[in-house]
A and B are shown apart, each in its own frame.
Chain A
Amino acid sequence: MAKSITHEFVKGLWEEVPPFRLVLGLCPVLGVTTKMQYGIGMGLATTFVLVCSNILVSMLRKAIPAKVRIACFIIIIATFVTLVELLMQAFAYPLFLQLGIFIPLIVVNCIVLGRAEAFASKNGIFLSVADGLGIGIGFTLSLAALGALREILGAGTLTLWEGIELVNLLHVFPGFHPFKFMVQAPGAFVCLGIMLCFMNMVGKK
Chain B
Amino acid sequence: MGDYFVLIISCIFVNNILLAQFLGNCPFFGTSKKMETAVGMAMAVIFVLVMAGVITWMIYHFLLVNLGLTYLRTIAFILVIASLVQFVEMFLKKSIPALYAGLGIFLPLITTNCAVFGACVINIDKEYSFMQALVASFSYAVGFGLALILFAGVRERILLARVPRPLQDTSIALVTAGIISLSFYAFKGMV
For the side of the interface on A, what is the size category?
A: 35 or more
Q: Which residues, 61 to 117 on A, are CB-close (under 8 Å) to B? A: 70-71, 74-75, 78-79, 81-82, 85-86, 100-101, 104-105, 107-110, 113
A192 contact set on B, CB distance < 8 A: 174
B20 touches A27 (CB 8 A): no
Q: Given that A27-B23, A193-B173, A193-B174 are known contacts, is A101 also in contact with B74, CB under 8 Å in the complex?
A: no
Q: Which residues, 150 to 205 on A, are CB-close (under 8 Å) to B? A: 184-194, 196-198, 200-201, 204
Question: Does chain A have a CB within 8 A of B150?
Answer: no
A198 contact set on B, CB distance < 8 A: 166
Q: Give the residue of A108, A189, A191 whose beta carbon is less than 8 angstroms from that of B114.
A: A108
B-side interface mostly: helix
Q: How far is the CA of A70 from the CA of B82 in the complex (A)?
A: 10
Interface segment, one of B58-66, B96-104, B116-124, B135-143: B116-124
B82 touches A197 (CB 8 A): no
Q: B122's closest neighbor in chain A, by CB? A: A101
Question: Does chain B have a CB within 8 A of A5?
Answer: no
Interface segment, one of B2-10, B87-95, B175-183: B175-183
B172 contact set on A, CB distance < 8 A: 193
B171 touches A101 (CB 8 A): no
Q: B79's closest neighbor in chain A, by CB? A: A75
Q: How far is the CA of A110 from the CA of B28 in the complex (A)?
A: 13
Interface-central residue, B21, B113, B114, B170, by most chain A CB under 10 Å? B114
B82 contact set on A, CB distance < 8 A: 71, 74
Question: Does chain B have a CB within 8 A of A57?
Answer: no
Q: How far is the CA of A184 from the CA of B20 in the complex (A)?
A: 9
For the side of the interface on B, what is the size category?
A: 35 or more
Q: Given that A101-B125, A110-B112, A113-B112 are known contacts, is A185 also in contact with B26, CB under 8 Å in the complex?
A: no
A-side interface mostly: helix
Question: Does chain B have a CB within 8 A of A26?
Answer: yes
B29 contact set on A, CB distance < 8 A: 23, 26
Question: Does chain A have a CB within 8 A of B132?
Answer: no
B22 contact set on A, CB distance < 8 A: 26-28, 30-31, 185, 188
Question: Does chain A have a CB within 8 A of B185?
Answer: yes
Q: Given that A25-B26, A71-B82 are known contacts, is A194 also in contact with B175, CB under 8 Å in the complex?
A: yes
Q: Give the residue of A30, A113, A204 whose beta carbon is less than 8 angstroms from that of B25.
A: A30
Question: Does chain A have a CB within 8 A of B19?
Answer: yes
Interface-central residue, A26, A28, A100, by most chain B CB under 10 Å? A26
Question: Does chain A have a CB within 8 A of B24?
Answer: yes
Q: Give the residue of B21, B78, B122, B166 whose beta carbon is less than 8 angstroms from that of A197.
A: B166
Q: How far is the CA of A25 from the CA of B71 in the complex (A)?
A: 24
Q: Given that A26-B29, A81-B74, A107-B78 are known contacts, is A193 also in contact with B178, CB under 8 Å in the complex?
A: yes
B79 contact set on A, CB distance < 8 A: 74-75, 78
Q: Give the residue of B25, B72, B74, B167 whose beta carbon is less than 8 angstroms from that of A27.
A: B25
B114 touches A27 (CB 8 A): yes
Bitwise, B9-46 to A at CB < 8 A (1) or not (0) is: 00000000001111111101100000000000000000
Q: Given that A188-B22, A188-B178, A192-B174 are known contacts, is A75 also in contact with B75, CB under 8 Å in the complex?
A: yes
Which 9 residue pairs across A and B have the least CB separation, nearest first? A193-B174, A189-B178, A190-B178, A31-B22, A193-B175, A200-B166, A26-B25, A186-B181, A186-B182
Q: Which A residues have a C-beta under 8 Å from some C-beta of B?
A: 23-28, 30-31, 70-71, 74-75, 78-79, 81-82, 85-86, 100-101, 104-105, 107-110, 113, 184-194, 196-198, 200-201, 204
Q: Which B residues have a C-beta under 8 Å from some C-beta of A?
A: 19-26, 28-29, 71-75, 78-79, 82, 111-114, 117-118, 121-122, 125, 165-168, 170-175, 177-179, 181-182, 185
